[in-house]
Structure 1
Amino acid sequence: MTTTTTSAPLTSRPTTAAAPERTTRRPGTGTVLRWEIAKLVAQARSRYALLVCLIAPIAIVLVFNGQQQTPSDTIYGRQIHTSGYAGPLFILAFGSQWIFPILAALVAGDIFANEDQHGTWKTILTRSVTRSQIFWAKTLAATMFTLVSMVVLAASTIVSSLLIVGTQPLTGLSGQVIPSGTAFPLVLAGWATALAPQVGFTALSILLSVKTRNPAAGVAAPVALALIMQLIGTLGGIDLTRRFLLTTPLDSWHGLLAEHRFYGPLTFGLAVSAGWTAVCLACAYVSLRRRDITGG
């Protein structure tokens, strides 16, 4: 008996479309910037610095307000008891000599050298990011910290001084009386003039951070250079050199408090600050791009 097996006709099965390949999107500069900001927020040094900027002016105003003597050796020190607008200008003048360079270098002087200290350059470069992205993200993060610290310091100084001392009229640098309504925007403008040279000091700190590869040197060297610039600025006979120093624009707010306001030093100071910023960042960028960091 013969059994005949009938095979079913072959039917073409529909082919399933291949799953689309996942395209891995490379992180951009904004992503790297968020990393850097997250790292700054996690650092106790950054948080404590902002806390000091918030609390220290209040303590300074309270101490001087409770003393009979005034710091007459600093501009607007004599008026610190008679007008709440004098305190912010006094701290602005004092801060430009000592505090501002430290604030600029605190993060910027360490932000690149810290990678050398911990040997993490190869690690961050394996995240599909370029050296250019890392450079600009770190530069933006350091600049943002400098500007935020300045805003916090200015706001705390102005508000605490006005609340504790009062809103009495201010005596200008030419002896004229400045009403409260006029003094307030002038004080704000005076503090705003410090932002451009602060960005310049940040760029200088970034350059030294890249060049020295040492966090301590990156933070201390800009402060030492600022002191040297101030010393040079006090010497006579070198007025032309003094105009191109990065510390000179920090005094450009004086023209705003004169009876007949003059803006020449302010305009020239902005140009000087921009020049320092551009040259320092260009040198730092080229140095980082050419560096051999395969060893760490």
Structure 2
Amino acid sequence: MTNISPAGQREIIREMCNAIQHGRRHDVETILDDNEEFINADEGGNMVAKSLYRNFLMLAIDALETDISALLIDRGIDINHKCWCVNGKQSARDLAIENGLNDVVDMIDRRLPISMQLFAAVSDGSVTRTKQLISHIDADINMKVNLYGEKTPGCLAFTLLMIAIKLNHSDVAELLVQENIDVAFQHQEWERLNPESDDVLVVSYTALELATQRGMYDVVKRIKGQQLKRTVVKETNKIDDAKQSDVDTNRLTNSQEAREPPAAIPTVEQDHLDNNINKYENKVAHGQSCCCILS
């Protein structure tokens, strides 16, 4: 990498943007061959793309340049970069979907981590793709994410089921419930009603409550059925555990009884027995006999 002045960097970025927007794939490739460190620059002249600007992949997608998009992805451009667009904060994948560039969407998906692929499949409403990804060894159906698919801890996050319900993908939502996704998680939202007050309104809801609110009654029925099934299984397990505990207790009692020594002869009977034995021994010593030593 050669030292390039800030003015020189901006000129290279300007040339790159121009080549992308006019579909000059060869020029884009040449610039990257000579200046590979510019791959993650943005249209604002920043060497590392910032959220206010599109990166080169977004420019290519907006220009409907599939070949240039493929080149940039192969060169390792940041496919997760997001910037503020007309429809809010969006990624290159979002723009590709909006522009109908399905081949670019597929190329991006193949480079996303499994968690992001699963989120994308749920967000797209793809039952087939969601089912495929759930079975992946690295997939976590119960991961908690924000509205952009980024893993988020705590009660401010959403489950994938909530994402599906929010986007009205009832088929995907039913699939997730069928696959035993967590339906008990509560999402919370905080809102300060008065900027001058410390009072905060806290709204919390589960996937069931969200589905009810949106009138997705097939999903509501599926969730309630799953809750009932889990309750029955839980109670059945309790009964089985209690039965097993009784069996174990009986086995322990029988085992202890088997190991206990015979009961000792009462003291009075033992003394009587000892006296008879002594009498017998005296008789034997004097040449007498006896047919019984117990009286």
TM-score, normalised via structure 2 length: 0.22
Larger RCO: 1 or 2 (CA < 8 Å, sep 6+): 1
Structure ID, larger Rg: 2
Decide which structure has greater helix share. Answer: 1
